[in-house]
A and B are shown apart, each in its own frame.
Chain A
Amino acid sequence: MNKIKLMEVCGTHTMAIAKSGIKAILPESVELVSGPGCPVCVTSQSDIDKAIAVSGIKDVIIATFGDMMRVPGEKESLAQAKSRGKDIRMVYSCMDALSIAKDNPKKRIVFIGVGFETTSPTVAATIMEAKRQKINNFFVLSCFKLIPPALYAVSNSDKVKIDGFICPGHVSVIIGTGPYEKFAACCKKPCVIAGFEDTDILVSIKRLVEMIKARSYKAEIEYKRAVTKNGNTKARKILASVFDVAPGQWRGIGIIEKSALKINKRYASFDAEKEFDIKISATLPKKGCMCGEVIQGIIYPNECKLFKRTCTPRNPKGPCMVSSEGACAAYYRYGK
């Protein structure tokens, strides 16, 4: 039998696989590659530069998740901007950013929104809450993305052939199995929605191999203790009331239709892109950085020429080395 190539889509799975050493005990005929499910890693260079550009505007406080802090922009990272005295704060939830807005009525607070369907509903709920409380100094720079369109993009790529997908657990809590069922049938790729314990991942790999052998193209839930077929309809309703689906720019992949969330007209006054005149020069990823290939499973991190040479966790050149969910960071820390 030919080698089977499976993709773990989600960055948290990438880290869990590395930490548990699953790759070391898999038979040689089964390969695991990382996919486009690490929020920071898929964020385009231009979005990161936008965030850093906003931090330079007078009387602005940037609130962001930890992972975004050290991602290199064209000139510097948010962490470097912070060490120069810019007011950039690490928050653990978007509601914290709203509290900062309430405490600093004379400043404008911009929350950098990165992430997938896991994260975006809570941000949508925060924007609704801001409107309800009539808070007018709170803005969101929405770089949110959707997982299912990325699956199609990876599956349709002629650069890599993936046989089956280990699908993200927490995203699926929100979106349910519907999008995967469609994808599995349409692209003839089996999907298993997996939990984050080592045994969850092992069981999912086993099921995928069985389905590939049986040519069964279904979407199954292994993570039954959290994921249901219908997902969280309330969260999806909140999402739909705040965001419009738009084309999204993905690192390395380019523009994917209907893959991003932008704040809709009703909530336009909270949209940082409308509030600020954000000017960035056309930016390119760092020369030689292959994060774009890594997140599509085209190469392994150690095949990038910068890996461990000029790109290290201390001096990251690309986001995959920064993020705690990044494939390069996982490779660097734990080896293959």
Chain B
Amino acid sequence: MENKTVTLAHGNGGRLMHELVDALRLKFSNKILDELTDAAEINLKGKRIAFSADSYVVKPLFFPGGDIGKLSVFGTVNDISMKGAVPVCISLSFIIEEGLPVKDLEKIADSISYAAKKSKVPVVTGDIKVVEKNAADKIFINTSGVGVINYKGRIGAKANPGDAIIINGPIAEHGLSILNARENLKFYSNIKSDCNNLNFETERCLKASSRISVMRDPTRGGVATALNEIAAASGIGIEIDEQAIPIKPAVKKLCDVLGLDPLYIANEGKFLCFVNNKDAKKVRKAIGANARIIGRVVSAHKKEVYLKTKIGANRILPTLEVDQLPRIC
């Protein structure tokens, strides 16, 4: 690795993080791991199982539209769902910093209970560790999830030329609501995290088409990062239409004010579905009223994502190099 120490930019979902993942992965590389999807597909005596792991370290713990409890349940359910699996159960394990108010913990537990019920996925096991002050930041939640894959096709990291790209709703709400709460920006806004479970929507997609190639929730690094990852992994090109990307006016305005690009801002209740163009409308309809077809996969400009702007110009939509910084004026 180029850097001598790990920096925060290594965790932002951009190019540095890919370097870090590779540096680790190559030490224990295997065929399943090397696919680099949110959940692994393993074969258990003829049954196809999806298995995922994740950690939640969000700050602040409570934010408009959600909290760390909801986030960890939904995030894990979604990782399993992106593999085309029906989530069966999840585990939650807590690392708690001494001094955390019990009422915060209770609030988080209530939220976990709500999220598990909403997504109809039980929490079946877990663990608690308490560490001394400053050894963690209030509470970290580590999760795993298990699901069953009944889908005939194979949903992985690879998209095919001719696929349409569908998103299930407006982007950039989670990251912006966190930023607004964390930095105490005092912008009056009703921007709430989109933190939500996606398993019912993905199940409807799977029923609507047998030609889905990739499903991906564009969390860290946003839609642009997810698209670049898929383009790179599939060796294909992607073309996105800027005007087709759903974004709420308040989100767009706040991004303008702060000088941030919404395409790189995290989502927690959105997913991209790559499906053969012939089934695109069917799948869009199956997802719901907010879903939009935002682009397509092409065989030209391999491993690159292009954005057709509002005025009809094409420009590259690159991988994020370093964290986005708010501008001065």
Contact = CB atoms under 8 A, between A and B. Distances in A.
Given A83-B7, A325-B259, A335-B316, A20 B327 contact: no
A216 to B, nearest CB: 26
The B interface, classified by DSSP as helix, strand, loop or mixed, is loop
A289 B31 CA distance: 45
A334 B318 contact: yes
Contact of A202 (B5, B185, B311): B311
A118 B329 contact: yes
Contacts of B259: 12, 15, 324-325
Interface in A310-336: 312-314, 323-325, 332-335
Interface residues of B, number: 28
A118 B329 CA distance: 6
Contacts, number: 95
B325 interface: yes
B317 to A, nearest CB: 9
A15 B7 CA distance: 26
A92 B311 contact: no
Given A198-B311, A324-B325, 19 more contacts: A11-B327, A18-B315, A22-B311, A23-B313, A40-B328, A65-B327, A67-B326, A70-B322, A90-B326, A92-B183, A92-B185, A170-B329, A171-B329, A198-B309, A202-B311, A313-B321, A323-B327, A324-B259, A335-B315
A198 B310 CA distance: 8
A282 interface: no
Interface string B289-323: 00000000000000000000111111110100110
B7 to A, nearest CB: 7
Interface of A: 11-12, 15, 18-25, 39-40, 65-70, 83, 90, 92, 114-116, 118-119, 170-171, 196, 198-199, 202, 312-314, 323-325, 332-335
Contact of A19 (B15, B309, B327): B309
Given A313-B321, A314-B321, A66 B315 contact: no
B261 interface: yes
Contact of A24 (B16, B313, B325): B313
B329 A21 contact: no
A71 to B, nearest CB: 10
Contact of A333 (B16, B256, B318, B329): B318
B311 A21 contact: yes
B329 A12 contact: yes
